Amino acid sequence: MKKMITLIGATIGGFVGVLVLHGPTQSTTLTSASTNKTSGSAKPLTAPTASPRPKKSTVSNSTISTPSPVNGSAVGKPVNYGYGQMAVKVVVANNKITDVTVSSLTTLESYSAQLEQQVVPVLKSEVLQANGTHILLLTGATYTSEAYATSLQSALNKLHFK
């Protein structure tokens, strides 16, 4: 009986630990499960913000200019991860990511270098398709995927790419 109670307690503790480590992160926009009664579509919910909302102001006789397109290339900061260090270079033309390469890579073992050869082309494809860093992390290469995305975001920030 004591073993059963210990097992149940350990299971609950492990579950709580997983929820704490991998639970939902704070977000500025949440999606509601309820639907709009008139249209049947999901209603977005906004999370509370710490800063007060700015007062509305009126603008008369002014023109709204569109931002100029982002063009250029940049190398992201080198990111240390469990198996080495990686820096990513991105090329942007007319607000579209046209190329992503690994500009520098240092691995601690040969297996990591082989993994990079398999993972990087998949990550590149994801980035080009998403036109940003909203990519799926690859199972079995989580640290590599996170380092790639972090360095990529650093490069995009240098270009002021949104």
pLDDT tens, 85-143?
Answer: 999 999 999 999 999 999 999 988 887 778 888 899 999 999 999 988 888 878 788 88
- The C-alpha atoms of residue 96 and residue 40 are separated, in whole angstroms, by 34
Query: Taking 50 as the threshold, does the pLDDT of residue 30 lie above it?
Result: no
What residues contact 8, with CB distance under 8 A and at least 6 apart? Answer: none
Using a pLDDT cut of 70, give the percent of the chain over it. 64
Burial class of 156 by CB neighbour count within 10 A (0 to 12, 13 to 18, 19+): buried
DSSP-assigned beta bridge partners for residue 88: 102
pLDDT of res. 117: 86
Q: Determine the pLDDT at residue 90.
A: 95
CA-angle at 111, arms to 108 and 85, nearest 5°? 35
Residue 91 contacts by C-beta under 8 Å, 6 or more apart in sequence?
72, 73, 97, 98, 99, 100
Whether 42 has a pLDDT exceeding 50, the answer reads no
* Domains located in the chain, CATH noted: 72-158 (3.90.1010.20)
pLDDT of 66 reads: 59
Give pLDDT tens digits for 148-157. 999 999 999 9
